[in-house]
Structure formats: structure tokens, C-alpha cells
Amino acid sequence: MALLAVCSAATPARAQTAPPPADAAPAIHVGVQLFADYTVQQQPKVVDADGNTVTLNQFQITRSYINVTGNLSRTIAFQITPDVTREISVGSSLDGSYAFRLKYAFAQWNLDDHLGKGSWARFGMQPTPWIGFIDEVYRYRFQGQGFEERDGFIFSSDVGATFHYDLPRDFGDLHAGVFNGEGYSKPEVNDQKGWMIRGTVRPMAAAGGVLHGVRVSGFFDHDMYVKSADRQRAIVAVTFQHRFVNAAVDYLMAKDQPSARSTAVDARGWSAWVTPRTSRSWEGLLRVDHVQPNTQIAAQDKHRTIAGIAYWFPHQGSVSSALLFDVDNLKLQGFTATQAPLQRRIALHALVNF
């Protein structure tokens, strides 16, 4: 069956920047992606209903996606991805239940015949330019989000219109668009829109060999909470992909001014990670994140370290499955007394994707 490999930002096995052109005959494909884990929250302890101090541990289904992709013709393709996740809204009648919602729902016009391979336009609920790119390199979304998304700076999906173009001779790509700016889980609330652009270059594309895997990227997101109240994000990153290791370093600068009458808050953060792997499907994960939510408060910061070892089961094509054992430490400094200064989770994560 002919099908379009349309991207899912949470799908490490599918390429986001260069979907192949669809065949002329209509086609459809249904896939599933599952994130599951057993997690022990070693710190902080919790108090049960009888007043005992205990170590929280639980089996979880953190995400369950149903990916429906396909094409109507050679030029028109689509993706619909429902997201099944636990409802944790305070006061909701569904609190604790699993809720069914949309993560992606977009149409794609392939422009390969006009602008070259890897060119397309999308309209609808879709991966945002930064998350759609970085999740191709960082394959451990099933452990947790990248730091920009985990700390609430960027949404993984939003409703809007975007354009993607691959530079000639594999020198990089460009992805730009306009979005509501509220993220996929919320409706638009005013007249402001988020303008996002990511540019990536492969400086050693012509050299081949190991250096071919080096890419330099820049991302900028300009939005406004309300008129004259900025919401901006800028990211610069260097990524590296190779048969035996993936790695990246990225730096974030953010500005938030919820109201035109309030003072803007500047935030800074960085992340560095490496995933060395062997030829026998074993892979390590080492990651360090550091976030300063407000540069005016020098003593306030978040520091996260993740260390783990994974086994990726041998598969063909876009099918992938893995087990990951990891320790996730988060240290908080300068926050309120109600937040534990140390949070440690030890977990066994599972990924199933086909």
C-alpha cells in the first residue's frame, strides 16, 4: 500500500523534514504509538490517606497515539492523530480518567514537483517547527519532553499554516508558519498570532563522512499575550547524528509579558545530551538541563540530570520499540517552600511504535 510518511512530533522513527511525495492512488495507513512506564518517586515522599509517609510508585500510560496518515492524490496528504492521556484537571468530573483529544489534524500539499523534494505546505493542527525538528534527533520523548517544552516555553503542536523547504544538496531546511499561539490543548482567546521560523544548515554537507551529521539551527517565535505584551522565544542549537551516537546542545532565551501593564520577565536555559549506542541495540542516555525562569532572581534556578540505559529491539522500517531504565533528578533552588528542593524519579519506560 502506498502511503505518506507524514510526521508525528512524538514519533522518533518518522522523518519530519522530508516526507516523500504521495503516489497518485489514494492510500491510508493506521499506526499506534504507546508510552508506558513504571515509576518510583523516591523524592519527595507522599502522605497516604491514613497519614503514612510512603514512596509513591505507579504503573502509567503516559501517552497513547493513533496515527492515521495517507494521501488523496500525489499532491494532497493528511494526518489525524488522537491523543489518549490522563485527565488531571482539578475539579474536573473526569479527573483521573483517560481522555481522548486531538494532537494532530492537518492537510499537506506536497510541492516537490514545483520547488524540489521536501517542499510542502500544511494547514491545521500540526507539529510546531522546533519540536518537530528536535524530536527527530532526540529519540527519548517517551522518557520525557525536551526542556523547552517540559518547562512550558514551547508547545509541541498548534493550529496554523506552515511552509517547509529543503535546501539543495542536503545543506539544510527552512520551516516557518503562523499559529494561534495557545497550543493544541487550548482555543484561541484573542486577535494575536504566533509567528515561528526555524532554519537549519548542514555546514559540512559536501564533506561527507562523520562531519555530515553536524547541523546548526536557529528558531524564533514571536507572539503576544495581548496587544503590546510580548511572548518571545529564541533558540540556537548544534546537533549531531551518527550511527553510533546522537548529541545536541541548545540554548534558550525567552521573554514573557502577560499584560501591557506588567513588567516583562526574561528567562534563560540550556540543555546538553548525548546518546552513545552500540551495534547490539544498547544505548545510553545522558542529559543535563539548566533553566533560570527569571533572570532578575539570580538565586532561582532548575537543574535536571537524566541518566539511563536503553535497549532498542531490532525492527525494520518505521517500526520501533524500546525499554529504558533511567534516573531523573530535578534540583530546585530559590523557589517556594511548598516545592521540594529535590525530586528524584526512577523509572522503567517502554515505547511501542508502528
145-155: pLDDT as tens digits = 999 999 999 99
Give mean pLDDT, residues 52-66: 93
Residues 351 and 65 sit within 8 Å (Cβ to Cβ): no
| pLDDT score for 19 | 45
| pLDDT score for 156 | 94
Give mean pLDDT, residues 43-63: 94
Between CA 187 and CA 169 the distance in angstroms is: 40
How high does pLDDT run on average in the chain?
A: 89
Q: How many helices (H) and strands (E) does the chain have?
A: 3, 16
pLDDT of 172 over the 50 cut: yes
- Amino acid 309 reads I
DSSP 8-class letter at 83 = E
For 134, phi then psi, to 5°, come to -70, -30
**283-328 pLDDT, tens per residue?**
999 999 999 999 988 788 999 999 999 999 998 777 899 999 999 9
pTM comes to 0.88
Residues 270 and 250 sit within 8 Å (Cβ to Cβ): yes
Q: Hey, CA dihedral for 142, 148, 151, 153, is it positive or negative?
A: negative
More confident residue, 99 or 350: 350
**190-212 pLDDT, tens per residue?**
899 999 999 999 998 888 788 99
CATH number of 27-353: 2.40.160.10
Give mean pLDDT, residues 104-109: 96
> Measured in whole angstroms, how far is the alpha carbon of residue 172 from the centre of its chain?
20
| pLDDT score for 14 | 39
**221-250 pLDDT, tens per residue?**
999 999 989 999 999 999 999 999 999 999
